[in-house]
Amino acid sequence: MLLRWARWTMFSTAAETSAWPAWTPPWFRAQGLHTYYETGIFSQRLALAYDLIADQLSAQEKGQIAEGFLRNSIEPAIREYFLNDRMPIAASNHMAHAVGGAIADCVALEGDIPDWEERFAPRLAELMASFEHLMNGLFPGDGSEAEPAGYENFAMEGMSWGASALASIGIRSAGLEKMLQSFWWERYIRIRADLMLDTGDFDGDLSALTGFAWSAEHSRDPSVRAFYESGNKRTLTAVSRLQDTGRALESAPGLLDLVCCTGPSPDPPTAPPSRVFPLRGSAVLRSGWGEEDAVISLRAGPWFNHEHHDQGTFQVAAFGEKLIGEAGYSDYYKDPRYLDYFTQAPGHNTIVVDHNPFSQGDYDGRYWKALQLHPSITRHLFSERFDYLTADLAPAYKGTLKQLTREYLFFKPGLLIIRDQISSAGTHSYSWLLHPPPGTKTSIHGAQATIAGSKGTALISTSEGSWSVIPQPMPVIAYSDFERGHIFPRSALELDSPPQARRTFLVGMRFAKLPGTESPLIWKETNNGVGFDVEAANSEIHGKFRTSSGELSLGKTVTDGNALLLARGATGREVFASHARKLSENQGQIVSSTAPVDLLLHESGATREYHIASSAPTTVTFPVSNAPSELVLDGKPASAHYAKGMIVINLTEGEHVVTLKR
């Protein structure tokens, strides 16, 4: 009886709505739009309902529903996105739902309509062209998607309906693999469901991962499966009670959760802790995959749609809580400060010029081959204990700055150093911003500042200047639940420079568990650099950053590079030099390169491991007392020229690992 009632309900709904003149709301049609994402979601659900009851329908009833699908879903999507090409860059979750729903409607009718091949197959081909366009617009191919995390999950729902429908008739989209692998960005920024370090229009909370259900089931990739299963599916009955078609719908469990997962969950391989997503323009530096490990998420690049003007910004979580945040998400329909604060540089951890909230402007993107001037991650070097990354941020400032190079140096598990080198044709004042998360406690004392959470603290110090605490605007959404919780004031830590053409900011951040006895870095000036020393019970780190010409030295270790760091611990020692051709110790050469490289040496017992990143092909020379017993290049045994106590290796542009065993 219940099954018969359900089938009757589905038929009556499909039959009644198929008679409607349109599914797109009147306001949108009045603005010249043919479809909308809600139309796509409605189309998806009707396609499934039709598929479940099609064998119970007469030919006349099938024909009636087919005409409704054609008039209200398929044709509007074709006019909007194929004939009119209203979204040329195709980086749109709205388009994903409209096109995905129309494809689902088209495929659901296959085999049921006598003239399907004449009327619907050609239209399916047009929809597939738009679907392929989406594959390129949404998914750059580096393991990411072109929107903030919540919008990616939502777009993936629409794309999954389309991909699933096509798969049912034996069609695999040419860009499908990029879509299936796009979960990696969200995997790297996800500490838990309510703590994700993404930027743009996203609040850091994403419980359900419905958009990845179909990928988890059909990719046969254990990493996708593990990521999907980290979400909270709850119960699908909640969907029927949703009155909100906006963000609540976007983050709710959905019908796609029914497709996953069959079979046991395989153990996924452990991914490297840090990763760059160069085509999106994002990176994540991790000390590990545990919930209390440090996670640094940063942004420098062309990703587009619901983005903010926040190039260079970064967020940090450690000990299971956010310690460095941003102004955060606000309502883009209702908040009066959305356009001039929450989406602009002052709402993020970056540089503001002359106190101008619009310091960063629009920038080119990956969608226009002739317009490729945008911020980018220029170099990186990752290892087990140390990560280094450099970004060129000057293009975001639209000619105001000749140079803004931001370097991120992360000594795991808990030391982050940011160095900004700025130059301009004229004089400007520069503000360096850092946003404490709401609810944390902030204190300042001259060049030092502290952000304390409930479990951990960020101990912050600058090599020059004094911190100020500046009150910040309150997002209107902070008042949405004011009767059930606290409303915390917002503030930002700020370093201000006097007007000048050149400026360097050097800020160190130590992340320590509470209660603790650690203290902020103490910076000290030397003849041609600014340095620091950190000593703990079982480890020590020493660093120096160049301020003028001449060799840079720490004790008996010398380089011609721009930065030099030494670390010693239980697992051995590390030596790092940036943009260096030479590195020596005790007046003996450690390594030399014909081109400037970023270099990290890890030495443990009889093994030396060199991580080398170069922006050009280079020849690297390693002095050794004897021929090594083993030489490994990028994980594979290799041979190299050895003569007169020297090993010479030619390296291509990029990052390499050379291991020598004595």
The predicted model scores a pTM of 0.94
The residue-averaged pLDDT of 516-537 equals 91
* DSSP state letter for 435: B
Task: Give the tens place of pLDDT for each residue, 320-329.
Answer: 999 999 998 8
Crossing angle of helices 149-168 and 37-53, in 10° steps, is: 40
- Cα–Cα dist 439/453, whole Å: 7
pLDDT digits (tens, 9 = 90+) for 151-202: 999 999 999 999 999 999 999 999 999 999 999 999 999 999 999 999 999 9
Residue ranges of the chain assigned to CATH 1.50.10.100: 2-259
Tokens 């998400």 belong to which residue? 329
The 10 Å CB-count burial string (b at 16+, else e) for 283-305 is bbbbbeeeebbbbbbbbbbbbbb
pLDDT of residue 362: 84
From edge to edge, which strands make up the β-sheet containing 468-471? Answer: 351-353, 430-434, 491-496, 468-471
**Dist CA 341 CA 119 (whole Å):** 51
pLDDT, residue 13, reads 77
Model confidence at 147: pLDDT above 50: yes
Q: What is the mean pLDDT of residues 130-140?
A: 97
Q: Who wins on pLDDT, 371 or 340?
A: 340
**Between 527 and 485, whose confidence is greater?**
527
Q: Tell me the C-alpha distance between 559 and 544, whole Å.
A: 11
Q: Which fold has domain 272-517?
A: Beta-galactosidase; Chain A, domain 5 (2.70.98)
Cβ atoms of 154 and 101 closer than 8 Å:
no
3-state secondary structure of 156: helix
Could you read off the pLDDT of 432-456 as tens digits, one per residue?
999 999 999 999 999 999 999 999 9
Which of 449, 429, 233, 409 lies closest to 323 in space, CA to CA? 449
pLDDT reading at 140 higher than 50: yes
Considering only 10-19, 131-140, 187-196, 643-652, which range has the smallest mean pLDDT? 10-19
Mean pLDDT taken over the chain: 92
User: Which residue in 659, 463, 464 sits closest to 543, CA to CA?
Assistant: 463
- Give per-residue pLDDT as tens, 2-54: 456 556 666 777 778 888 999 999 999 999 999 999 999 999 999 999 999 99
Residue 624 has what pLDDT? 86
Taking only the tens place, the pLDDT of each residue in 599-633 is 999 998 888 999 999 999 999 999 888 888 889 99
Please compute the mean of the pLDDT values over residues 518-532 and round it to a whole number. 93
Residues 622-631 pLDDT 10s: 988 888 888 9
pLDDT of residue 255: 87
pLDDT of residue 2: 45
Cis upstream peptide for 357 (omega within 30°): no
CATH 2.60.220 positions along the chain are 523-662
Q: Which residues pair with 195 in a beta bridge?
A: 192
Q: Which of 202, 200, 221 is nearest to 212 (CA)?
A: 221
**Average pLDDT for 347-355:** 98
For residue 385, give every residue at least 6 positions away whose Cβ sits within 8 Å of its Cβ, in sequence order, or none.
Answer: 411, 412, 567, 569, 571, 574, 602
Instruction: Give the CATH number of domain 2-259; options: 1.50.10.100, 3.20.20.60, 3.40.190.290, 3.20.20.450.
Output: 1.50.10.100
| CATH code for residues 523-662 | 2.60.220
Other CB atoms within a 10 A radius of the CB of residue 646 amount to: 14
Label residue 248 by pLDDT band (50, 70, 90).
low
**Cα–Cα distance for residue pair 228/56, rounded to 1 Å:** 35
pLDDT tens profile 548-579 = 999 999 999 999 999 999 999 887 899 999 99
339 by DSSP, 3-state: which?
Answer: helix
**67-122 per-position pLDDT tens digit:** 999 999 999 999 999 999 999 999 999 999 999 999 999 999 999 999 999 999 99
